Structure 1
Amino acid sequence: MSYRIIPLVNGQIYHLFNRSVARETIFLKSTDYLRFLEVVDFYRFVEIGMRFSHFKRLETNRRNNFINDLHKSDKKSVDIYTFTIMPNHFHFLVKQLSEDGIKKFMSQVQNSYAKYLNTKYQRTGSVFQEMFKAIRIETEEQFLHLSRYIHLNPLTSYILKNINDLEKYPWSSYMDYMEKRNLSLVSRNIINSYFSNVDKLKEFTVNQIDYQRKLELIKHLILD
């Protein structure tokens, strides 16, 4: 059994990531990505009182009222600053707000999505690798670099080929930072505070694409 070396502490910010077992594609359709985002939005709160699978079976009005009450309560286990979902892995940049908040959030999200995927595609076995990775963010520079790294992931991994497609990629918070969408699960205030406007944030993000692609290529050459 694996044990976590890095402690997960309230008030600290972490880069969280995990990938599928054997790098299997686990987000096959838009409905799969949407389901994952729904689960993330649901389990970022504490004291929920029901499982997501039960929540989905509620009548539409009850479901809307329930999720609205969660949002109004603002009792969260994590604040999510950035995210990107890729065909076989995901990244989050989050702050832990409650005791064991990250551990519970990640466990609930991964377990819920795994059950959904196995049921939908008549699949068996583990979906995600045994333990998600967590890296504590120690400086503002590291925080901003990781936010950029996460947002550039679809481009550096060549899921997208055109830089203009990045702000249209719906499975990343970059779309929200570019003000093309307004997902409630993304906390944008801190990153936005470093930039005078959206254009400055965009410039900061895209000026590292070529460099990050080279790093990604070197990493793959070493690992393969």
Structure 2
Amino acid sequence: MKKQRLATGCYYHVYNRGNNKENIFKEAENYIYFLKLWNKYIEPVAETFCYCLLPNHFHFFIRMRELQTFEVFKTSKVLTQPNQEQHFSNFFNAYSKAINKAYNRTGSLFQKGFKRKEIINESYYTSIIGYIITNPVRHGLCNSSAEYLYSAYEAILSDKTTLLLRNEVIDWFGCKEAFIDYIRAYESNLPDKYELLK
């Protein structure tokens, strides 16, 4: 089955995991480097609402940039049409090469082809944020989303500079308190036990 192409202006849940469920993050520096590469390769073509990085997989909620917005990020190269798919490919290749070199490994780090699901209605928009932010709790990595270091939770509630669409997320829920309450309610409805990425 052919993968859905990423369409300009559309919203997506983007995710993938390590090949054979292998960990893609082996230590703290890996998470930081992954986000640094995300900002380099993906931010030019997509805006990020939230994310969560777990030891063997990741989740992002994004909106593909409009063509005119993309022009702001234009480099010295002539870009007539943003190639979103190539940006993602470059991103995964850059991270994989770095991990393979650092840990003396070979072969594919990620499962072939990243997954994407289009967010097409308001209820899905709300629930995907809850799903992504609470993923560490779902997989038993922490008791509360607020405890987890490698998700967008803290950045959404912070006043520090961020590339995340923080204001849009908070405005969607009405205020920071409403966002916190929603996440807590989402956590309370999670199963008691959940194997790390079944």
Shorter-chain-normalised TM-score: which range?
0.7 to 0.9
Q: Quote the Cα distance in structure 2 between the aligned partners of 1:126 and 1:141.
A: 35
Equivalent position of 2:37 in the other structure: 39
| TM-score (ref. length: structure 2) | 0.84
Cα displacement (A) at 1:182? 3.3
* Aligned partner of residue 189 in structure 2, secondary structure: helix
Check the 8 A contact 1:151/1:172 in 2, yes or no. Answer: yes
Equivalent position of 2:156 in the other structure: 177
Pairing 1:144-159 to 2, within 5 Å after superposition? 144-159=126-141
Q: Quote the Cα distance in structure 1 between the aligned partners of 2:138 and 2:13.
A: 18
Q: Which runs of 5+ in 2 are unaligned?
A: 68-80
Distance 1:183 1:216, change over 3 A: farther
For the aligned residue pairs, the C-alpha RMSD in angstroms reads 2.1
Task: Establish whether residue 115 from structure 1 lines up as the match of residue 113 from structure 2.
Answer: no
Check the 8 A contact 2:50/2:152 in 1, yes or no. Answer: yes
Equivalent position of 1:187 in the other structure: 165
Pairing 1:1-224 to 2, within 5 Å after superposition? 3-4=2-3, 6-45=4-43, 76-97=44-65, 98=67, 102-160=84-142, 162-163=143-144, 166-179=145-158, 182=160, 184-213=162-191, 220=198
| TM-score (ref. length: structure 1) | 0.75
**Percent same amino acid among aligned pairs?**
26
Check the 8 A contact 1:14/1:134 in 2, yes or no. Answer: yes
Q: Residue 143 of structure 1 aligns to which amino acid in structure 2?
A: Y
Count how many residue pairs are aligned between Structure 1 and Structure 2.
183
Superposed CA offset, 1:53-109 (max 9, x none): xxxxxxxxxxxxxxxxxxxxxxx2000111000000100100111555542332122
Structure having the larger proportion of residues in helix: 1
Q: Quote the Cα distance in structure 2 between the aligned partners of 1:101 and 1:84.
A: 25
